[in-house]
Amino acid sequence: MDSTEDVLRAPHAESAESGYDPLIEACAAVFKLGGADYLAHFGNGLFNFSMSRGLAASADALSAYELSCRQLVILVERYERLLQGLRMGDLMRIVVASSDRALACCRIRPGQYLVGVSAEDDQLDRRVCEAAVATRAIYRLPDEMMGGRRDLPLDDDPTPGIRIHRDGDPPPSFVSVVNARDLHYAGCFHEGRPPAAADAFPDLGKWFSNTARETRRETIQQLGGTLRQELAHLCHALRLVMTGSVERLVLDIQEGALYVLAPAGTDDGLLVGLTFDQYEVDRAERRLRGLLGSC
């Protein structure tokens, strides 16, 4: 894709006067790098334009992809309400992945979103974030570091000697992995059982100037109690493009991110993680993934 070829525009976005040409050019420059089968732009709930390749090239697939992406944009408001109690800022990035498909949604500015679809979640996530950064630059808006720094090494002992708070009986691996630098909370949520969690909140004073530690713990526990229902709702909303159950959900907020890992075909509970540091969002999730199988 050299410029704007293979782009589907809504009628209101067809003329040069509509102002979409710079946005399309910015998205196309990223899309041609690969990593996404489909990329769509929405404003105030309306479809504006999309670009596609491969699996998304048929008319039926395009319709299914557009509808599913619109559903994910609609869910942004739902998740923002769920996350309000954490007091970590606005929701700006969502990643949803099953065994067969992934969707990534990034906010460009209020009411304006880019959503991508692919079979591979990590590469898709990077591309949608890159397209969002390029599009924000058109409005002279800064890079919000969606997804955090992606090149940070995952060392074994990031912050020795920190104080760990426990709820329930968390696995020893949780206690050894949670730290004051990147992964600040790890919890295991089973239906019908109290959560088992470890957090580094006692050593995170600067992140608690606007709310109490116990308030955040209670908020996370309340969220954990609703997450299975939310994942089922999400799977239903995206059923036209995603046939498997949701195994990964990332809710990237302005000050950190909430992660939910739900491996299919196991009796493991939901593995929930949290970081308050936007810089550390990627590394914190990589550290959390190391706890899969211990929940």
The C-alpha torsion from 229 through 197 and 272 to 280, rounded to 10°, is 150
- Asked if 28 and 6 touch (Cβ cutoff 8 Å), the reply is no
If pLDDT is split at 50, 70 and 90, which confidence band does 159 have?
A: low
**Mean pLDDT within 120-138:** 95
Separation in Å, CA 88 to CA 145, 207, 255, 285: 15, 9, 5, 17
pLDDT category of residue 155 using cuts at 50, 70 and 90: confident
- Decide if domain 7-138 falls under CATH 3.30.450.30: yes
Question: Do the two domains 7-138 and 165-289 of this chain adopt the same fold?
Answer: yes
- Residue 231, CA atoms < 13 Å, CB-side half-sphere: 26
Say which residues have a Cβ less than 8 Å from residue 234's Cβ, sequence separation at least 6. Answer: 75, 96, 246, 249
Token duo for residue 108:
């460009």
- Please calculate the CA angle 266-176-97 and round it to the nearest 5 degrees: 40
> If pLDDT is split at 50, 70 and 90, which confidence band does 57 have?
low
* Alpha-carbon gap, residue 38 to 116, rounded angstroms: 5
CB neighbours of residue 98 within 10 Å: 22
Secondary structure (3-state) at 18: helix
Mean per-residue pLDDT over the chain, rounded: 91
CA gyration radius, the chain? 19
The answer on pLDDT for 3 being more than 60 is: no
Q: What per-residue confidence (pLDDT) applies to 25?
A: 96
Give the pLDDT confidence score for residue 27 in this predicted structure.
97
Considering the domain delimited by 165-289, tell me its CATH architecture. 2-Layer Sandwich (3.30)
Q: Does residue 268 surpass a pLDDT of 80? A: no
Residue-by-residue DSSP string for 76-139 = HHHHHHHHGGG----EEEEEEE-SS-EEEEEEEETTEEEEEEES-HHHHHHHHHHHHHHHHHHT
Q: Parse the chain into domains and list their residue ranges.
A: 7-138, 165-289
Q: Are 190 and 179 within 8 A, CB to CB?
A: no
161 pLDDT band, cuts 50/70/90, is: low
Q: Is the pLDDT of residue 160 over 80?
A: no
DSSP letter, residue 194: -
